[in-house]
Chain A
Amino acid sequence: METVLARKRAAEPHAELQPVMKMASVNKSFSGVQVLHNVNIELYKGEVHALMGENGAGKSTLMKIMAGVYRPDSGSILYKDSAVNWPSPMAARDEGISVIHQEISLSPNLSIGENILMGTIFPRNKMGFIKWQLIYEKAEAILRSIGSSLDPRAKVSTLSIAQQQMVEIARALSFNSEILIMDEPTASLTDKEIEKLFVIIDDLKRKGVAIVYISHRMDEIFRISNRFTVLRDGKWITSGPISDTNPDHLVKLMVGREIKDLFQRTYADTAVTTKREPVLELKDISDKKTVKGISLRLYPGEIVGLAGLVGAGRTELIRAIFGISALSGGQIIIEGKPVNIQSPSDAIGYGIAHVPESRKEQGLFPNLSVQENILMAQMHSYRNSGILQYDRMSQDAERFIMDLGVKAASKDQNVMGLSGGNQQKVVIAKWLSIGPKVLLLDEPTRGVDIGAKTEIHKIISNLAEQGLAVLVVSSELPEILGISDRILVMHEGKIRAELSRQEATQEKIMYYATGEIK
């Protein structure tokens, strides 16, 4: 009901005005992959503009271009009626464009005051020494103006995440911004703090600041925004006044994607009907931060998709199962026996394999060959009185390379010479080498081209047919829908819905993932 009121409030006082920022036909590619295609956005003074889209739709890239972090490959940026091409983020900031990042980017070892004024020229006396008193006074004034009672002399490291978020906001305001970009500013705030933030936003609107607001929370969007823009797969879909839309409509605009190009698993219902004993069972497990009381059962031969937005706790859940982060409660049961998993090597001992979220940081050994990357988890089985048997290692490595169709010049090639898709196959091969019972996959096809994606989907599907239990985290809905037998949707650390393959649709998943219970 609130939203109705909010929509009424969001009249359009700017229709006749010129936009303060107008980006048109912006294109951007990274290493040959185009992530923005002819994207447009217009911002008016004193509006809150909701920028909407799924994970990976191109929101962050667009905002980084607006703020001078990236340069567009082509397209125009008109700021206050003149064409601009920021040479650096500092240049954009000096002209009045500030960003409040999703990740906090403060220096924890410095004081609040220094962090707020960081990037401005510190006041100095004639000798060139910094006038600390003045810094703290300035910082204090900014803090008070947003209703914060923090002491500018305190160190940032002593603050809670929410308090740090307030310091971020204060810093952004210290630049007298005309455009303020807020990327998920409420992600780590409590309800009370969110209310405070909204008061600040209202105040900024009155002062004529244009605010870009990125959030997945529909209630917030409809409460504070005036207009919206939807991006999907790097393309501009539509823009308009928020009063012309509703949550259902927005979700449709965000997800309306074709699934037909992707691999569809021809899954055997037998896997579901012959459910004997779950190979992995979680009972009410929580970690110390994100995961809150998750229970699930994973049966041999099935693929379970774990959907949700970034930050919903999917990766954290997988990391907790694999013993990377500690549990604060609950029980993990493997083949009917409660187990105590303290480390990845414990998890591996129970037959759990884990393909991590970021291949390069967590999966690969960039200094080693394809063969060694494949066999590294299983080295101990190639020893004969302590001596590694290279003959056997070569044979097995070649077999995995063949089985998974890894395209490599040779097994001795350095793994970094492979394409992303083939690197990912190497990581999967590493886990198959241990003969696992449970395979945890975190974004298994991220940064992989469409051809290799389909091949990886086939590999995963074949593994399930051979009796492996698979849990897949993916932010790509078509992928989740294409390979899963069942889909669990997470939101804020909890499982909000379990959908069978038949009943799952992109829209349904998005409703649960955004916490918009229908």
Chain B
Amino acid sequence: MQTNLQSAGGNDQLIKKKLSYTFNQLGMVIILVLLSVGMAIFAPHFLEMSNMLNIFKQVSITAILAAGMTLVILTGGIDLSVGSTVALSGVISVLITNAGVNPIIAMLVGAAIGLAAGAINGYLTAVPKLPSFIVTLGSMTYLRGLALVISGGYPLVLTNETFKFIGAGKILGIPTPIYITTLVYIIMFFVLKYTMFGRHVYAVGGNEEAARLTGIKVERTLIKVYSISGLLAGIAGVVLAGRLFSGQPTAGIMAELDAIAAVILGGTSFVGGFGRIQGTIIGVLIIAVLNNGLTLLNVDSYWQKVIMGGVIVAAVLLDRIRNRRRR
């Protein structure tokens, strides 16, 4: 019994450790507010309505990807392939639109390509139990390769107005991508809280072994999670193509890293099981405000990257220190 008690003690430590990986969401809200106030003071145009809409429009791709990434990271995995999925979905949907396919159908095909790519990632992660990092590192590369092969390496120009509307259009003066992003987040919030699948995501992320012993179909849950991440990447690819008026094989390079950064800033733990979609919105906004504010402040774009990376590390570190002190 004593060894058992010992291991129980060790497990408590582990759980404390797990908790300390989750960043306090309130802390991140404060950081977001401080950043916004700072920008509002130093960059006079920051608070203007047009700039605000611009921020949201620009961040919509990262936001859509981050919603799917939140699910994946909640299960304790990672999806590095979403940026490449954006490119492949964009290239193919533009290509078939230009070939005369109905643009609505073409956009659905783009989304479906993402879904299929995600399902393959999910299958490989769940059934032969390959590490998601390696599976999606592979698919990141082959999906990008496919996008380059199909496009011949050049951007495919999009002329269809219906298709353009999804990325560059406006409804009641508000850019379409903002509607799409909002809808994605409302659905995701609902799915996570009010469906059995959503609760199973938390269960699998919190304790996969216990989930299996509870009768949860862990493999099925994981395949769904990666499929959703892929589907959202496919949608993001269509939106981006619409916004750029072209399907670009180099679109979305490094987009997965922005999405991961947003999820982590939003308080979702890398060890799985801890985190919320609401947090991811905050994380996305922190990245958006920084990007936009630094541009308004005329900071050199190379330096923006340096600052961006530094802020991500610093924000997470600050929060970690704050959490540790509270314990």
Interface residues of chain A, those whose CB is within 8 Å of chain B, are 28, 30-31, 33, 35-36, 55-56, 58, 60-61, 234, 322, 324, 343-345, 347-349, 354, 356, 358, 360-368, 372, 376-377, 379-380, 382-383, 386-388, 390, 416, 420, 430, 446-447
Contacts and interface: CB of A to CB of B under 8 A. Distances in A.
A365 B207 contact: yes
Interface in B178-195: 193-195
Nearest to A427: B210
B194 A387 contact: yes
A388 to B, nearest CB: 5
Given A361-B11, A362-B210, A365-B273, A386 B195 contact: yes
Nearest to A434: B215
Contacts of B215: 344-345, 347-349, 377
Given A30-B6, A447-B1, A368 B206 contact: yes
Main secondary structure of the interface of B (DSSP, over half): helix
B203 A55 contact: no
Given A30-B6, A344-B213, A345-B215, A368 B195 contact: no
A31 B195 contact: no
B213 A35 contact: no
B205 A367 contact: yes
Given A420-B8, A447-B1, A379 B199 contact: yes
Nearest to A387: B194
Contacts of A354: 213
Q: Which of B6, B9, B215, B272 has the most chain A CB atoms inside 10 A of its CB?
A: B215
A420 B11 CA distance: 12
B257 interface: no
Nearest to B212: A344
A31 B2 contact: no
A362 B211 CA distance: 8
28 contacts: A31-B5, A31-B9, A33-B2, A61-B2, A61-B3, A324-B213, A343-B212, A344-B212, A345-B217, A347-B215, A356-B210, A361-B207, A361-B209, A363-B213, A365-B202, A365-B207, A365-B211, A367-B205, A367-B272, A368-B206, A376-B199, A376-B211, A377-B214, A379-B200, A387-B194, A388-B193, A416-B12, A447-B8
Contacts of B216: 345, 376
Contacts of A388: 193-196, 199
Q: How extensive is the interface on chain B, given as a class?
A: 35 or more
B205 to A, nearest CB: 7
Given A344-B212, A365-B206, A430-B214, A372 B1 contact: no
Contact of B5 (A345, A367, A447): A447
Contacts of A387: 194-195
Interface of B: 1-9, 11-12, 15, 18, 193-196, 199-200, 202-203, 205-207, 209-217, 272-274
A264 to B, nearest CB: 21
Contact of B210 (A30, A343, A365): A365
Contact of A446 (B4, B11, B15): B4
A80 to B, nearest CB: 27
A446 B195 CA distance: 34
A416 B273 CA distance: 14
Closest CB pairs A-B (n = 10): A56-B1, A35-B2, A367-B273, A367-B206, A345-B215, A348-B215, A365-B206, A379-B196, A30-B5, A61-B2
A215 B105 CA distance: 71
Contacts of A430: 214
A51 to B, nearest CB: 14
Q: Which of A358, A366, A386, A387 has the most chain B CB atoms inside 10 A of its CB?
A: A366
A360 B215 CA distance: 17
B18 to A, nearest CB: 7
B191 to A, nearest CB: 10
A61 B194 CA distance: 47
Q: Which of B2, B5, B9, B12 has the most chain A CB atoms inside 10 A of its CB?
A: B2
Nearest to A55: B1
B203 A60 contact: no
B224 to A, nearest CB: 14
A430 B216 CA distance: 13
A343 B17 CA distance: 31
Contacts of A348: 215
A176 B232 CA distance: 62
